[in-house]
Amino acid sequence: MSLRSVREGTLELKVGESLIRLRYRRPTVEEMLATLAMKVPGPDSQNPALDLLRGNLELGFACLAGIPSGELVVDDGHGPQPIGSDPGSPDFSEDWKELVRQCFPLLLIALGQHLSTLPALSEERKKK
């Protein structure tokens, strides 16, 4: 079995009855190091859980490459507004990524967690 690193991919998340797809790119080495450093609680850390979540949020935001039109919808009282990342879509918004951050931060946290989870060591290796 091999460990594979892809340049880009899609994370599918089942949220209630909806299937949400987030397109992403591979994190850079610097993005990974910064995220992993945030996840390791330092001696001055007031809230290690917050550091971990913030690291995942920032990595997810940095690597989010797109979302299919209509999968995420914002309704701020003016009717539903789909968010689209494709410039050719009628749902496209220049600030689509920031809208995802503000309205759907848990999706970015999940993406950051997906991208920064270290591969598990085999049971045999753990026992040594």
Global pTM reads 0.79
Does 124 score more than 60 pLDDT?
Answer: no
Phi, psi of 98 (to 5 degrees): -65, -35
Residue 1 confidence class, pLDDT cut points 50, 70, 90: low
Residue 120 confidence class, pLDDT cut points 50, 70, 90: low
Q: Are 115 and 60 in contact (CB under 8 A)?
A: yes
C-alpha separations of 69 from 82, 84, 126 in Å: 7, 4, 44
Radius of gyration, alpha carbons of the chain: 17
Q: Are 30 and 59 in contact (CB under 8 A)?
A: no
Cα–Cα distance for residue pair 34/54, rounded to 1 Å: 11
Cα–Cα distance for residue pair 29/43, rounded to 1 Å: 24
User: What token pair was written down for 94?
Assistant: 């220049």
Cα–Cα distance for residue pair 114/33, rounded to 1 Å: 15
What pLDDT, in 10s, does the model give residues 10-37?
Answer: 999 998 899 999 999 989 889 988 888 8
What pLDDT, in 10s, does the model give residues 82-106?
Answer: 999 999 999 999 999 999 999 999 9
